[in-house]
Structure 1
Amino acid sequence: MMGIKPLCMGLVFLCVTIQCTERKKTIDSNQEYQLISPDHKGLVYSGRIDFSNPKEPILYWAGTSVAATFQGTTIRVKLEDNGENYYKAIIDGDAAGAIEIDCHAGANTYTVADHLEDRPHTIELVRRTDSTSPATKFLGFLIERNGHLLESPTNDRLKIEFYGNSITSGHGVLDESGENNDNRATWDNYYAYGAITSRALNADYRCISMSGIGIIKSWYPLTMPEMYNRLNPNDKNSRWDFALWTPDVVVINLFQNDSWLIEQMDPVPKEKEIIDAYKNFVSTIRGHYPEASVFCVLGNMSAAVEGSPWPGYIESAVDQLRDFGDQNLYFLIFPYRKTKAHPTVVEQKEMADMLTSYIKTTLKI
């Protein structure tokens, strides 16, 4: 097996990063193991996933997950990746002891757990990196030959969807120094405020985010109004079928990148244009989800600093949309944190606590 290296997360979290096993071919052919195909009915998927080939589903978005309940002592996962992504594998809900998978280029098998008690276990595989990284093919789980998959529990959970940028993605969340935010090893959507909020609400979670994206201006030639409806975020011809999944709650956290970049535009948009752009995006989302409660939030980076006009732009957009009859629309600002870079785990948790409380109070849940 290749070397196992620690991933320093700080705080109280403890996990290791595991690289692919060099025994991949042996594992695949060894009669002691069986492949749980990606199209097995016992698997539970969450996120916008490309199932055009159900035996090789493609994962693009941060927070996308695959879960299963199995009887056995060993669990492994097969992924095909270009080597730029990170995944979290959680056994029996123990996130503190999660295995962090540092993907290697090509199709590889990763050992998640050996020598478990021979009893039912759960596994959840979660994509840590966002759609600025290339896609990953999920090729299935491997369990020992005498193990088996159990039926996973299902329920009518609250459904919540987030539209956002690097803050929502969890960009640099593990980098407490603030010096290595662009190192994808420090990205972990599991500890972003949206994912934490969803777990606190026991909600089915979707994250439509991309680091660097804005509504009017991004760090690249793609904006959220152009990307929000894609299955593959990097394919302009790709389309998501909104009929497949309808959220009860939508959270929009955008305008941070716009606030940095808008002065580079020629001409620079005026206040009314900025407000109208936000209104148009919210109205577009409302067109897909007429019954959803939509929370328009901002922060906790520099766009939310005291004296910034950007909270006012969003508040004005929300007020105007309410005046036009959309009463299921809400506004919240996460206080500016004087962080060196992107919000850390602690700061993401603070946002999540604030948002969770606001949603519970507002919706009386």
Structure 2
Amino acid sequence: MMQTLPTLKKVTTTALVLLGLLTASCKTTPATQSPAQGALVSAQDSHIAYQGRIGHAGPDAAELYWSGTTIRLNFEGTTVKAWLKDESGDNYYNVIVDGDSLHLLRPDTTRRAYTLTYNLPEGKHTLELFKRTEYDRGKTQFYGFELGSDTKLLPPPAPQKRRIEFYGNSITAGYAVEDNSGKDQPDSTYTNHYLSYAALTARHFSAASHVICKSGIGVMVSWFPYTMPEIFDRLNPALPESKWDFTKYKPDIVVINLLQNDSWLVKRPEHDEFKRVFGTTPPSQEFIVNAYRSFVQQIRAKYPDAQIICMLGNMDITREGSPWPGYVQQAVAGMHDTKIHTLVVPYKNTPGHPDRQEQQQLANSLIRFIESNISW
């Protein structure tokens, strides 16, 4: 049985077909062996390279939660399928072949195989599955790759020498970055972390990237009943008991771009979350500075040697006359840590979330700052 999946515009000309193909089950191959042509490559196979906080659903599946989580494979041949099952059917993945082809894959809630590459030219190829949507769309289970009869694995991609970690809100998530209507629509079709300043910066430096972000989240208060300090240390962000092992990934640089939602909500005493967190009295400047400093100190405790960039922008939190850049600068100054920096990106002066051009402007500012201030 063959089912055509939703596909967005093709970016380059490499021949890929995204078809949802329900196929017969295959026996998994142990990670210690090199899979034969036509075999199913287990999710635990050492030929597969992961990026991001990856969980495990039993011995045969990896779980993907966070924006920017990536699965990479090197191979020689023409055809590779991925066995996937999505929790909600509302997640989207970019399928990237040889670094220059981009297609959209939307796995459904049935475990099945999806053809990712088809009719490629002979030779060696790279394949990347990139999670563009946020964790509130549910997790995806990845059971492994299925190779075509003419396809064989090559050694896995080498680990990147540079490492970055991002903590952010909708700006970092790439919320509505592909909504050209100006309506800032929340549908997951329009969210694409691949086009966010975070992903653009990581690719510029050929760096590995871990991304901990959620639209609407704040440091003190969010549009929902939890904040970044409550979830920053989770593996599965939906489960409070699911904790990430910080020894598994040591970033050279940590970028924190938060407070945009705080800056809105502290002015909304009628909102339920304002009432829950602050009661009837807005937070003082001292409270805001201490709350932000406390979160940065939590990050510093996890990564004693990392360079930390406390970034703001480019929505109205950095509008001329805004007090929030001063709050961040005061918080950082009070820590007397020469490896903690501030970067304020000017207000984009347009409504809604950053579009593609404005995300690129954010990336350009961050890239210039890193190149000018950090040796790595």
TM-score (norm. length: structure 1): 0.92
Distance 1:313 1:268 in 2: 15
Change (3 A) 1:15 1:278: farther
After superposition, the C-alpha distances for 1:239-293 in whole angstroms (9 at most, x for unaligned) are: 1111111111000000001011123332211000000000000001000101000
Q: Give the aligned partner of residue 189 of structure 2.
A: 185
What SS class does the counterpart of residue 189 from structure 2 fall into?
helix
User: 84, 87, 92: which one pairs with 2:90?
Assistant: 84
Within 5 Å, give how 1:1-365 maps onto structure 2: 1-3=2-4, 5-7=6-8, 20-21=19-20, 23-26=21-24, 33-51=38-56, 53-81=58-86, 82-94=88-100, 97-155=101-159, 157-263=161-267, 264=269, 265=274, 266=279, 267-322=281-336, 326-365=337-376
CA contact (8 A) 1:16 1:100 kept: no
285-294 vs 303-312, which moves further: 303-312
After superposition, the C-alpha distances for 1:20-65 in whole angstroms (9 at most, x for unaligned) are: 52x4125869x98421111111100010011363421111000000
Unaligned 5+ residue runs, structure 1?
none
Distance 1:42 1:6 in 2: 28
Aligned-residue RMSD, C-alpha = 2.3
Change (3 A) 1:17 1:333: farther
CA contact (8 A) 1:18 1:101 kept: no
Letter of the 2:313 counterpart: G
What SS class does the counterpart of residue 351 from structure 1 fall into?
helix
After superposition, the C-alpha distances for 1:324-355 in whole angstroms (9 at most, x for unaligned) are: xx110100111111233211111111111110
Letter of the 2:179 counterpart: D
Q: Give the aligned partner of residue 30 of structure 2.
A: none
Letter of the 2:41 counterpart: I
Q: Tell me how many residue pairs correspond in the alignment.
A: 356
State the shift of 1:154 in Å.
1.6
Distance 1:349 1:234 in 2: 30
Distance 1:131 1:255 in 2: 20
After superposition, the C-alpha distances for 1:307-334 in whole angstroms (9 at most, x for unaligned) are: 1111111111111112xxx110100111
Q: Percent identity at matched positions?
A: 38
Letter of the 1:309 counterpart: P
CA contact (8 A) 2:167 2:256 kept: yes
What SS class does the counterpart of residue 209 from structure 2 fall into?
strand
Unaligned 5+ residue runs, structure 2?
28-35
CA contact (8 A) 1:181 1:341 kept: no
Distance 2:37 2:251 in 1: 42
Change (3 A) 1:126 1:319: same
CA contact (8 A) 2:219 2:259 kept: yes
Distance 1:134 1:166 in 2: 17
Letter of the 1:215 counterpart: V
TM-score (norm. length: structure 2): 0.89
What SS class does the counterpart of residue 303 from structure 1 fall into?
helix
Change (3 A) 1:15 1:105: farther
What SS class does the counterpart of residue 301 from structure 2 fall into?
helix
State the shift of 1:76 in Å.
1.6
